[in-house]
Amino acid sequence: MALPLSRWTQKRLLYPVAVFAVIVPTVLMALYGTWALREIELRPASYRNDLSEVRTATTAALEAFLEPLARVAPPASADDAARALTDVDAYQSNYTKAVSTRAFVGIAGQPFTVRRLDADDKRPDPAEVVEFFRTLKAREKGEIVRVILNTESQSSSGLRHDCFVAYANSAGGAILWELDQAQIDSVVRRTVSGHELRNAALKVSISDERSLEFEPNEPGKQQIAAYASAHPEITPWRVLVLRLDTGATLVNQETWLSSIFIVIAVLGVPIVAAATLYAVQMILRESSEARKKVDFVSNVTHELKTPLTSIRMFIETLKLGRVKEPEQVNACLDVILQEANRLGILIDHVLTFSKLENQVKKYNMQPGDLGNVVRDTVQLFKAQMRATDGEIRLFVMPGLPANAEFDKDALREVVLNLLSNAIKYSGDDKFVTVRVGQDKNDLFIEVADRGIGIDPLDHKRIFEKFYRVDEALTRRVDGTGLGLTISLEIAKAHGGDITLESARGKGSRFTVWLPIRLPKSALKTKTVERTSTRETMRPAEPAETGQGAKG
């Protein structure tokens, strides 16, 4: 997980990272441009791809050349040998399309039979073919396998290369075809001549591998740039040679040279600009965070001093005996207790935020009744609302699960934060409505007020840490700017969210949504699906059904 910005700052990594983000792209693009220019000047950049494409096309053409032979099934038994010979004769009957001059058909352990395309062909059986059928054996069941035999023989015209392709089945039956070398060379030539290279300075020719070894590379003439076998099995002796005309101008070389600078300008400049902007944004964000922290420390200090001052004043009043009536003493004690609770809530805010910021906050998920948790929390504000002629009304919808799992203390803190904000920003009309219920598979807690409201432009930022709406009333209200941040983090830790509906001068409604999590023992019970009220629910009038709790 990425470190928060504050932790980058603490580790003194922000500025080195910002410098790194600007310099490294610049250096990389400069090195890339230098390498690309050198690559273009020394050799054509596309010749490897050209040779690979020609070889792929040649290999595919030769495989298609063998396809008719693979259609003739080898004999599955001695009784099936006659059928195989008939199929071979039917294939060789079409003299113009046959690609094999001889066919050898046999079964493992039995003599093989020869079918010749030319009746006058008196050549002896090659030793490699005899050895193939001698060692032919039945094997485990499987598909027909292909075996390729390449032979060399000395003839009156020189060294002769022959290729035999055998198809054998698991029963030990096989058909071995002698390929027509003239047709093989014709397929290779047609494929090479029909392939157009990208650069006119490059040429592809067909050569014998042995003669290629003795071909000199003379300056000013075509030089061998690369070569590869036309087909590594069928024609290992035939190679495709890529030759470079050293005296010719490479096609589009000038275009390449100019294009590389365009690439650097189009890609490099925006990357460096984006990196610079990102670095500046990080620095500005750090400055903003620093200002917010200063304001936070100031606000926390002020909020700590206010309750402490009240507590000290009332304790001194009681200690000096200036208040003697029991009712007055109880009133002083109530104020001290209220301020102590306020102080405790503030400290809890700071501690909770510290745990969330350092990602060490842990939650204790236990079965409980959400309605009771909210009801107990609302009771804490009764005295405060009574003192300001305000009112809190609580509505708990029936049918809430009594064993839903959640962290009671964490959700109590969420309700405290929302109620505290609702009361502080209610203005003169301190009327707050709290609703707790179930919407399909979610529990919800809704806190609505009739206060100053929040401008829609601030809805997204209202949950940012230290952020406070820049309004005259909010400036007069004490706060740390952490309550909503903490509440949202707690809701997300439960797999939920917080939504806001508000407009300036029309109050606010915060709704906490929590997916229902039941113990494993309760998952087997059948649940009844409720009609969704998430889109239609609106703040109800006090007279609606529910439980009311006035403050």
pLDDT of residue 443: 93
Q: Is residue 142 predicted with pLDDT exceeding 90?
A: no
Average pLDDT over residues 277-305: 68
Task: Determine the Cα–Cα distance for residues 511 and 496; give it in Å rounded to an integer.
Answer: 11
Where is 34: in which H helix or E strand? helix 14-42
Amino acid code (one letter) for 380: L
Q: Read off the pLDDT of residues 298-310 as tens digits, 9 standing for 90 and up.
A: 666 666 666 777 7
Task: Give the DSSP letter of residue 240.
Answer: E
Mean pLDDT lowest among 27-31, 115-119, 482-486, 499-503: 27-31
Per-residue burial over 314-340, b if 16 or more Cβ lie within 10 Å, else e, is beebbeeeeeeeeeeeeebeebbebbe
Mean pLDDT lowest among 70-74, 148-152, 341-345, 470-474: 470-474
Measure Cα distances from 440 to 167, 262, 375, 512, 527 in Å. Answer: 66, 58, 22, 14, 10
The separation between CA 542 and the C-alpha centre of its own chain, rounded to angstroms, equals: 49
String of DSSP letters for 476-528: HS---S-HHHHHHHHHHHTT-EEEEEE-TTS-EEEEEEEE----GGGTTS--P
Task: Determine the Cα–Cα distance for residues 395 and 444; give it in Å rounded to an integer.
Answer: 12
pLDDT of residue 18: 61
Phi, psi for residue 149 in degrees, rounded to 5: -115, 130
pLDDT of residue 202: 76
Q: Is residue 526 predicted with pLDDT exceeding 50?
A: no
> Are 425 and 445 contacting, i.e. CB atoms less than 8 angstroms apart?
no
With helix as H, strand as E and coil as C, how does 131-144 read? HHHHCCCCCCCCCC
> Are 89 and 102 contacting, i.e. CB atoms less than 8 angstroms apart?
no
Domain ranges of the chain: 46-249, 364-522
pLDDT of residue 453: 85
**Could you tell me the CATH superfamily of domain 364-522?**
Histidine kinase-like ATPase, C-terminal domain (3.30.565.10)
pLDDT of residue 359: 60
Q: Read off the pLDDT of residues 196-242 as tens digits, 9 standing for 90 and up.
A: 776 667 788 888 776 765 555 555 566 777 788 888 888 888 888 88
Task: Determine the Cα–Cα distance for residues 299 and 318; give it in Å rounded to an integer.
Answer: 29
Q: What is the percent of the chain where pLDDT is above 90?
A: 15
Highest-pLDDT range among 122-136, 146-160, 259-273, 517-531: 122-136
Question: CB count, 10 Å around CB of 352?
Answer: 22
Average pLDDT over residues 343-368: 71
pTM, whole model, 2 decimals? 0.41
Amino acid code (one letter) for 39: E
How confident is the prediction for the chain on average, in pLDDT? 76
Please report, in angstroms and rounded to a whole number, the separation of the first and last CA atoms in the chain.
45
pLDDT of residue 256: 57
Q: Is residue 276 predicted with pLDDT exceeding 90?
A: no
* Rg from Cα positions in the chain: 44
Amino acid code (one letter) for 43: R
With helix as H, strand as E and coil as C, how does 177-190 read? EEECHHHHHHHHHH
Average pLDDT over residues 304-322: 78
Average pLDDT over residues 80-97: 88
Q: Is residue 528 predicted with pLDDT exceeding 50?
A: no
Mean pLDDT lowest among 4-13, 59-68, 287-296: 4-13
pLDDT-derived band at 543, boundaries 50, 70, 90? very low
